[in-house]
Structure 1
Amino acid sequence: MICHMGNNKMILIGGPCVIESQECLETVASTMKDICNELDIDYYFKASFDKANRTSITSYRGPGIVDGLKMLSQIKERCNIPIATDIHEPWQSQPASEVADILQIPAFLCRQTDLLIAAGKTGKIINVKKAQFLAPWDMKNVADKIASTGNHKIFLCERGTSFGYNRLVVDMTSIMEMKSLGYPVVFDATHSVQKPGGGGNCTSGNREYIEPLAKAAIAAGADHLFMEIHPDPSKALSDGPNMVKLSEVREMLERILSVYDAVGN
């Protein structure tokens, strides 16, 4: 049975790139919950307890799995919202699944068989990001690995394709190709505008492209949306140049939803 959520609502997976502080988590989670309730969007709060693939050895990675899951658990309880978080190694699947409702597989790890199987065995929704180097039709093999566990609650996520050095482009036909595999497709509107390593010892990006790419992806058939959101991206400890400012999210989502409603996703 393919994963569909039982209604025609758009799902938004969104929050700060990495756990920075409890205050930041609660600010984003509570604000986004209110916005999504008003706009009739199903919301999953996202933050990573560890960013294991940062550009530099000096880059902030997060509080780690033990403290990070405690912080996410508090957000889940206080704000009464479902949680999404990244996992990087098979052993992280079970403890993360005790808190998270969506386990997210980072793009660079989407072919890691042991990781995919461990994630699948949790029975949680698995949002697996298509690698920057991978053809969209090759995601069938990725989905099959997860489905081999009996878990068909799978999202396939488009997050841009490498286009030379320090550049990503979004091939909108990728969305249609992955939808043909029978699973819902999520568009990652913020990582798709990254310039990987473009800042020398960090990643840069083009925040101004987030909204038009999100609209185009929804028009091309994307079912759901992923966004990284921060109260002040200029001070974020990870992915600041390609995050959405919290104060600007509501109006942006209203405009994106007008496309969603128009195409009847």
Structure 2
Amino acid sequence: MNLPTVALFGAGGKMGARLARNLQRSEYTVRHVEVSEAGRKRLKEELGIECVDVNVALADASAVILAVPDTVIGKIAASIAPQLKPGTMIITLDAAAPFAGHLPDRPDLTYFVTHPCHPSIFNNSSSEEARKDRFGGLAAPQSIVNSLMQGPEEHYAVGEAIAQTIYAPILRSYPMTVEQMALLEPGLSETVCATLLAVMKDGMQEVVRRGVPKEAARDFLLGHMNILAAVIFEEIPGAFSDACNKAIEFGKPRLMREDWLDIFEPAEIADSIKRIT
């Protein structure tokens, strides 16, 4: 596969517009598809991009990026599959729909899944623009995870090159299976991380309710998140005090069920993805 002509579906959406901006800086030929008038207007006004009809976009496309919600990936993929020639690469930006089996039964197509890790909280970039790029894809380096779900092995490099373009600048790129990607999201990033962060905010709101000034509680929590995370994730050398270690020893069973790690069991991951898709 030579440098692909890319059809970008959902080009005017929140994620799609980010991808369109980075693809615009590349040497790829891109056909943009967007169903909403607001999305088409955004692309025209912000990037000078004109969208095209689905048939035009797919006519010479050798790679199709589905920058659309998980809930409609299966429907869109099924609708365009009859127009895709053998060897065409479908790229999804999340493992949920592929894991759930929502892609068409077309062994002659290549399925490539890629997802950003987003810039680390230990983002020590020198520029202010990079430090403020929390999501990634603008100025802050971020790592990505990729899976060649089906297709010739040589297509991995093609998919990875597109992924490195749409999520640039890239720190590291990791190959893995779709099942491993599902462990990372929704398992690790959403079920664990997002939930525990929401719990931390609940805790902050509770101490505010009990009389602590909100600004002080927020500064105190975010500052401790910074240093505690740096030590726990070995970003810096350090050790907790005996008092902190005792608080963790007591706090874990107080806050977490004994069987909480079961959320990573295949059936639990499958149930979570079923709810998402």
Q: Does the TM-score normalized on the shorter chain lie above 0.5? A: no
Greater RCO, 1 or 2 (C-alpha within 8 Å, sep 6+)? 1
Q: Where is the strand percentage greater, Structure 1 or Structure 2? A: 1
Whichever of the two has the greater Rg, that structure is 2
Return the TM-score normalized by structure 2: 0.35
Q: Where is the helix percentage greater, Structure 1 or Structure 2? A: 2
